[in-house]
Chains A and B, each alone.
Chain A
Amino acid sequence: MILSVLSSPALVSGLMVVRAKNPVHSVLFPIPVFRNTSGLLLLLGLDFFAMIFPVVYIGAIAVSFLFVVMMFNIQIAEIHEEVLRYLPVSGIIGLIFWWEMFFILDNESIPLLPTQRNTTSLRYTVYAEKVRSWTNLETLGNLLYTYYSVWFLVPSLILLVAMIGAIVLTMHRTTKVKRQDVFRRNAIDFRRTIMRRTTDPLTIY
């Protein structure tokens, strides 16, 4: 029941992203998707991901989209919208993706229709878990920091490239800001720029 309570606003908001008239609404509609998906991950017992997903997706991605939508004057639902013009081809492509899903479904582990099956799982208690169980963060860190540490270092390079790329792309060399040339500043010889006075300037003749 909690699953349906959590997943239904996510599904509705995921469909409403396309259909919102106001562009601010269409940036705000993925936020219930992110929030409810992280709630679903809490149901699965993945507490680390349920905490990370709002931070990364809502706190970084949705906020930056909101900045862009608010700062650039995006008009409300430009008149040449005409969804029906794109509906045949894009509907066919969407249906092809939907049809590809049926290659995966209808197996033994993923049936097409969730009927009540005879597989009643045995309820057993793992007593070792009650003594000391690993948190989600510990299990991730056991792999990501020890054996597969390359998988951890390469995304840091990805983020570095993204940061450098975003700064380089949007850097706007304005003429109003006074800048100093670093090499010229370092090349100044102080012995030539600073003179030493041999007379005392405070004595009045």
Chain B
Amino acid sequence: TDPIKYFTFSMIISISGIWGILLNRRNIPIMSMPIESMLLAVNSNFLVFSVSSDDMMGQSFASLVPTVAAAESAIGLAIFVITFRVRGTIAVESINSIQG
């Protein structure tokens, strides 16, 4: 029953990450923290299934996911910094100032 426990654990974290994005409308950086936890949960899911099915493809993919996560968090924060510099506020309603 061990893969089931790991799987439900990572599923709960990833679904609560999805819910965190949807419910959290306060600030832009707080809205992107559950994205990172969701990426971590999916990554841990890859690793759990790679161990339980004795396949190395899961691990070689799971070593590339943190690079994507770090890259998109860096660029997301850079965009947030510029939006704050231009706009002066970080309310989520003003996110369509970067439209177009």
Contacts and interface: CB of A to CB of B under 8 A. Distances in A.
Main secondary structure of the interface of B (DSSP, over half): helix
B13 A14 contact: yes
A148 B60 contact: yes
Contact of B77 (A7, A37, A65, A111): A65
B58 to A, nearest CB: 10
Interface string B64-100: 1011111111110111111011000011000000000
A23 B84 CA distance: 16
B67 A158 contact: yes
Contacts of B37: 14, 17, 30, 33-34
Contact of A140 (B32, B34, B63): B63
A161 B71 contact: yes
B26 A78 contact: yes
A37 B60 contact: no
Contacts of A45: 51
B69 A61 contact: yes
Contacts, number: 192
A46 B4 contact: no
A64 B5 contact: no
A11 B9 contact: yes
Contact of B67 (A15, A26, A77, A155): A155
Interface stretch (A81-89, A125-133, A182-190, A196-204): A81-89
B56 A143 contact: yes
Given A34-B40, A93-B22, A158-B67, A3 B5 contact: yes
Contact of A57 (B9, B40, B91): B40
A151 B81 CA distance: 31
Nearest to B81: A170
B68 to A, nearest CB: 6
Interface string A48-67: 01001100110011101100
A98 to B, nearest CB: 6
Nearest to A96: B18
A52 B30 contact: no
Residue with the highest number of chain A CB atoms closer than 10 Å, among B5, B33, B59: B33
B77 A110 contact: no
The 5 closest A-B pairs by CB, nearest first: A90-B22, A162-B71, A155-B67, A166-B78, A169-B78
Interface of A: 3, 7, 10-11, 14-15, 17-18, 23, 26-27, 29-30, 33-34, 37, 40-41, 44-46, 49, 52-53, 56-57, 60-62, 64-65, 68-69, 72, 74, 77-78, 81, 83, 86-87, 89-90, 93-94, 97-98, 101, 109-111, 114, 117, 136, 139-140, 142-144, 148, 151, 155, 158-159, 161-163, 165-166, 169-170, 172
5 contacts: A18-B20, A18-B23, A68-B77, A94-B22, A114-B5
